[in-house]
Amino acid sequence: MAGGEHPVTGPSLYALLGLPSTATPQDLRQAFRSLSKLYHPDTTTLPLAEARDQFRRLQEAYLVLGDPQRRSAYDSQLRLALLQRVEALSPPTAIPAKGPGPMLTGPVSPRRPLSVRRAFSGGEWFALLLLALALLFSLVLGLGLAWWRGVELVTQPPGSAPAVDPIERQTEGSIARLPGDDLLTPPADSAVQPPAAGS
């Protein structure tokens, strides 16, 4: 027996203690105490070898069933063994073949239940609403604190030129130049000629 597992062959541990599988921990303790007096080598009337064997099996049953994790693992092993016995004893069921032909016989494998989507309950909707409100509140709080401290929310990446406003205002007596202004002004070295008369 490795890992605390107990074989499911022979009488069950519940049968050794004379209890049903629904017995409470108090029932297990009481049954163990009364049976240990019966099988203990010092107080029994049975032959010594038989009493030792019965007492050892009784202790083993109580160790497994007294621990909730071991008991749950043992119960699942019992259920699995019971299902295997039922499948072995049940007659083969007929499986209709596709198309015309003989019926196939053999055990039918149990189908897995399909997952069903269900609507959210009122509590789930309320939890989602609280989550959304908390997210919105934290966003507003973060932006408000940044604005209050004067932190720039949008910054230029390092090494990039600042964006130029296409329509700049006059500053300190100089006229701002727009892109493409050099095409409209004559070169500085050319003479400006007055327009021809009569045109």
The pLDDT of residue 114 is 64
The pLDDT of residue 138 is 95
The pLDDT of residue 126 is 94
CA distance 61 to 77: 14
The pLDDT of residue 2 is 40
Burial class (CB in 10 A: 0-12, 13-18, 19+), 92: exposed
Q: What is the pTM of this model?
A: 0.40
- Domains annotated for the chain, with CATH where assigned, are 18-90 (1.10.287.110)
**pLDDT tens digit at each of 199 positions of the chain:** 444 445 555 678 888 888 888 888 888 888 888 888 887 777 777 788 888 888 888 888 888 888 888 888 888 888 888 888 888 777 665 555 555 555 555 555 556 666 667 788 888 899 999 999 999 999 999 989 888 888 877 777 777 665 555 555 545 455 556 666 666 666 666 555 666 666 5
Per-residue burial over 64-88, b = 16 or more CB atoms within 10 Å of its CB, e = otherwise: bbeeeebbebbeeebeeeeeeeeee
The pLDDT of residue 129 is 95
The pLDDT of residue 140 is 94
